[in-house]
A and B are shown apart, each in its own frame.
Chain A
């Protein structure tokens, strides 16, 4: 692997200068944050310079009374979450507490967290941005307000674009009330069907849980499946939620935060790691309509059997996310898995492949996204000279 130059400007203006300079030299830039999600995209077709935001860190504005925060792209997400928690705010997405990931990286990658069922995707948290454009100009979109329809929502375009349309330099986010207390219902199940039935009961509770996860990463031979129902909110409301869960799923033991805070934190933190597919490499993220999760699982079983390998699953049935981890993956197998899922109309995204596989596997499946011609025009409009490293996303974006 060839090494490329890496620069880490300390301010937005410095970043803009570097971009202008690179543009003059016709260099191709790959924007990175902490670099924790490199495996989410294909290797760039060409990259002369990595421009890291990691030194552009800090809170630009935090107005606790207004429930909004603005931070530079290189701010560690975990640090920002800690800072706003001091004023009773919750930062969504909820990610592992020790994660290095940056504000800019998480937004640029459109990363989800443990709390997505409650608060929605990260694109719903972003209120505005400042972006360094391919000509070195700095463009603002949106604002720091919870409600605002002034101008096009270009921040929606940059969210999830992995820096292929500009360098996300500063982000404004909406905040949520931090839950006063939390509880987790954890249940073993002998089969996936049984586990999903419990999950369905939890999802039908009158107040949507914080998260509902189902997985088969358990080492116990007879009860391979586990369901986790996470509840959080105002203390008196939580007590009622727990009662509701006990009524809906009587077999699920519920642990409250107050029972044993440190053990509780460990269990809750474990769910954060699970949300991204757990510990496994070779992780495939399949997304579908919530009602199709079981069908996708059955298909994954079928493919694994056909390939003579093993698959482990982490499911978020309320959202429609299936993380699948395959043992003994190679490019040929990945392609067969991808096409089998495409036939069900599911979307795929390989997220944990090593560099070698990543270059050989269609990370987003074989097809092109609907609207790819328009996406290419948008890219050409915002980056006419191909400054940003490309060929990394679906459709070669």
Chain B
């Protein structure tokens, strides 16, 4: 990195806002996509919008590529550093700026940790709904960039339904303030467009989010099944019956074993091939009505035991086990490839079976723990990245899984994003014309394509828009 640029950044951000020594840059070499690594040339940590904008202006003038980063918990390589680039982290933007209980919203800095926001508003009887498994570490800014999900998004929707406003620093350092919540967007919906743009449009420094009232009653049911197929069918039945619990999760035997052997032991029964974790929330009448129907449906599909969390502590333990499942898999193998695909909810059983078969054929183990209610599969493949052949087979299996999901009407990612991981697969789902429209919108935000280059959009698709066809009238 040009020493003058580093000096300018130090002047703006102070000495602790610029990490130049290699030892301090190494922790930023990857996000949750562990096999993609590259030590960034520089890491900067601005404290607010003003500092971010000033730093972005310097980087713009220097023509340096930029990778925005929240907590680095992303699983698709969205925060993997790029060659010659700077990582802008939000770790020093951790303030909850405003809580408005009357209008049920809050304005926070991008680096506020997801669960900290819920804690901050709990006194008002409110909570922030999206709850990724990494919610104890991941940030609202990262969630916004990735349009993150979580178990309770089944009822409440992904991040995009909860972001009301944004302050965005554009690639050239200009500040775009669309932070004031609007009933309907004024002009085009820039906020809705930005959510899920994976750092290609700019960096959000402040986020205004919707808050929901904490439901009066919550019931958590654990349904035990002797086979995974039956658990999948039970979910398909629940969707077909238009039931709306707040979360519907499936956890399979290998995952249960890993969780139960870990510090997160949740009390999941080891004699089940699969468990369904179903949560219902609302008024007493709403919950008891729903639970009655759900339980009879689960039994009809072969659940051999139904357990209800007796108290808040047990409920918390069941969820801690679910959300800690990825970490617990560390007992099975040093690395875990967390696939993320979506399928129509009428096809859960056949696609879970297909993923099992794909892994079996490649000699890989497979653990399933997923947001079944949303059709959001997470086939998790334990592996050891030091074994090059195993890594190759894991990646091949990942591709095959995506292909069968797409063939069934599904999609590449439900909540983890495309990032670096699935950039090559974009062309399986989208035509060049689809991608061209995305590239043009990207160029409107970032004409120099300096924001998170090499992520989400295949280079070929964008190159096409650079050599735009002549206007239709001028064609031969």
Query: What is A's interface to B at a CB cutoff of 8 Å?
Result: 20, 23-26, 63-68, 88-89, 110, 112, 120-121, 123-124, 131, 133, 135-141, 143-154, 156-157, 159-161, 165, 176-178, 206-207, 233-234, 236-237, 239-241, 244, 287-291, 319-321, 345, 347, 364, 369-372, 374-375, 377-378, 380-382, 384-385, 393-395, 397
Query: Would you call B193 and A66 a contact (CB within 8 A)?
Result: no
Return A16 CB to nearest CB of chain B, in Å.
Answer: 10
Determine whether the beta carbon of B242 is less than 8 Å from that of A88.
yes
* Contacting pair A151 B426 (CB below 8 A): yes
**Distance, CA A319 to CA B104, complexed state (A):** 11
Please report the C-alpha to C-alpha distance between residue A178 and residue B243 in the assembled complex, in whole angstroms.
Answer: 11
Whether A149 contacts B158 in the complex (CB less than 8 A), given A63-B344, A65-B236, A140-B430, comes out as: yes
Q: Are A147 and B371 also in contact (CB < 8 A) when A159-B189, A206-B216, A364-B186 are? A: yes
* Contact in complex: B183, A320 (CB < 8 Å): yes
A287-B242 contact given A145-B411, A147-B153, A149-B196, CB 8 Å threshold = no
Contact A124 B185 (CB under 8 A): no
Give the number of chain B interface residues (Cβ < 8 Å): 89
Q: Which residues of B contact A381 (CB under 8 A)?
A: 440-441, 443-444
Given contacts A145-B414, A381-B443, A382-B437, 8 further A-B contacts (CB under 8 A): A67-B239, A147-B375, A147-B376, A147-B414, A161-B188, A165-B188, A289-B103, A291-B102
CB–CB B285/A237 < 8 A:
yes
Which of B376, B416, B431, B473 touches A26 (beta carbons < 8 Å)? Answer: B473
Question: Which residues from chain A contact B180 at a C-beta distance below 8 Å?
Answer: 345, 370
Q: Would you call A207 and B286 a contact (CB within 8 A)? A: yes
CB of B104, distance to nearest CB on chain A (Å): 8
Tell me if B187 and A372 are in contact (CB < 8 A).
Answer: yes
A149-B413, A149-B414, A157-B193 are contacts. A371–B433 as well, Cβ < 8 Å?
A: no
Q: Give 1 or 0 for each of B79-114: 1 = CB within 8 Å of chain A CB.
A: 000000000000000000000101100000000000
The chain A residue sitting closest to B160, CB to CB, is: A153
Identify B178's interface contact among A146, A206, A289, A370, CB under 8 A.
Answer: A370
In the complex, 23 of the A-B residue pairs with CB atoms within 8 angstroms, ordered by the A residue number, are A20-B472, A63-B344, A65-B236, A65-B240, A65-B345, A66-B344, A124-B161, A137-B436, A139-B434, A145-B344, A149-B417, A150-B422, A154-B437, A156-B160, A160-B189, A161-B188, A176-B242, A177-B242, A178-B242, A287-B182, A319-B183, A371-B190, A374-B444
Q: Given A156-B193, A382-B441: A240 and B147 within 8 A (CB)? A: no
Query: Contact at B342–A347, with CB atoms within 8 Å?
Result: no
Query: Does residue B468 face the partner (Cβ distance < 8 Å to A)?
Result: yes
A118 → B minimal CB distance (Å): 12
Tell yes or no: B244 within 8 A of A by CB: yes
B415 on the A face (CB < 8 A): yes
Known A153-B195, A321-B183, A397-B187: A24·B371 in contact at CB below 8 Å: no
Once the chains are docked, how many angstroms separate the CA of A240 from the CA of B284? 9
Please name all residues of chain B whose beta carbon is closer than 8 Å to the beta carbon of A124 when the two chains form the complex. Answer: 157, 161
Write out the residue numbers on chain A whose beta carbons fall within 8 Å of the beta carbon of B243: 177
A145-B289 CB under 8 A given contacts A151-B430, A381-B441: no
Separation of A88 and B169 alpha carbons in the complex (Å): 45
Bound complex: CA A370 to CA B175 (Å): 11
Min C-beta distance of B445 to chain A, whole Å: 7
A369 pairs with B187, CB closer than 8 A:
yes
B345 CB contact (under 8 Å) in A66, A121, A151, A177? A66
A153-B196, A156-B192, A289-B103 in contact; A374/B445 too (CB < 8 A)?
yes
**Which residues of A are found within 8 Å of B412, using beta-carbon distances?**
150
Are A64 and B240 also in contact (CB < 8 A) when A151-B430, A234-B289 are?
Answer: yes
Give the shortest distance, in Å, between B462 (CB) and chain A (any CB).
12
Chain A min CB distance to B452 (Å): 13
Partner of A377, one of B290, B431, B444, B456: B444
Interchain CB contact under 8 A, A133 and B437: yes
Q: Which residues of B contact A (CB under 8 A)?
A: 100, 102-103, 146-147, 149, 153, 157-158, 160-161, 170, 176-178, 180-190, 192-193, 195-197, 215-216, 236, 239-240, 242-244, 282-286, 289-290, 342-346, 371, 374-376, 409-418, 422, 426, 429-431, 433-438, 440-445, 456, 468-469, 471-473, 475
CB–CB A152/B442 < 8 A: yes
Contacts of B417 in A (CB 8 A): 149
Q: State how many angstroms separate the Cβ of B346 from the closest Cβ of chain A.
A: 4
Set A88, A133, A154, A394: member contacting B193, Cβ < 8 A: A154
Complexed CA–CA distance, A165 and B187 (Å): 12
With both beta carbons as reference points, the residue of chain A lying nearest to B425 in the complex is identified as A150
A25 to B475, CA, bound (A): 12
B343 — which chain A residues lie within 8 A by C-beta?
A: 145
Given A147-B149, A239-B285, A370-B177, are A287 and B430 neighbors across the interface (CB < 8 Å)?
A: no
Contact partners of A146 in chain B: CB under 8 A: 345, 374-375
The answer on a CB contact under 8 Å between A150 and B411 is: yes
Decide if B181 touches A289 in the complex (CB within 8 Å): yes
| B193→A153 contact, CB < 8 A | yes
- Residues in B with CB closer than 8 Å to A289 are 100, 103, 181
A148 touches B342 (CB 8 A): yes
**Which A residue's beta carbon lies closest to that of B438?**
A152
One of A154, A319, A372 near B438 (C-beta < 8 A): A154
Q: Chain A: which residue is nearest B190 at the CB level?
A: A371
- By Cβ-Cβ distance, the 9 closest A-B pairs, closest first, are A156-B192, A240-B285, A177-B242, A287-B183, A369-B187, A369-B186, A139-B437, A23-B472, A377-B444
Residues of B within 8 A of A154 (CB): 193, 437-438, 441
Please state if A138 and B433 are interface contacts (CB–CB under 8 Å): yes
Are A66 and B346 in contact (CB-based, < 8 A)?
Answer: yes
Residues in A whose Cβ lies below 8 Å from that of B182: 287, 347
CA–CA, A384 and B344, complex, Å: 37
Q: Would you give the shortest CB distance from B157 to chain A, in whole angstroms?
A: 7
**B176–A112 touching, CB < 8 Å:** no
A145 touches B187 (CB 8 A): no
Residue of A with least CB distance to B468? A384
Known: A154-B193, A156-B192, A370-B186. A145 touches B445 (CB 8 A): no
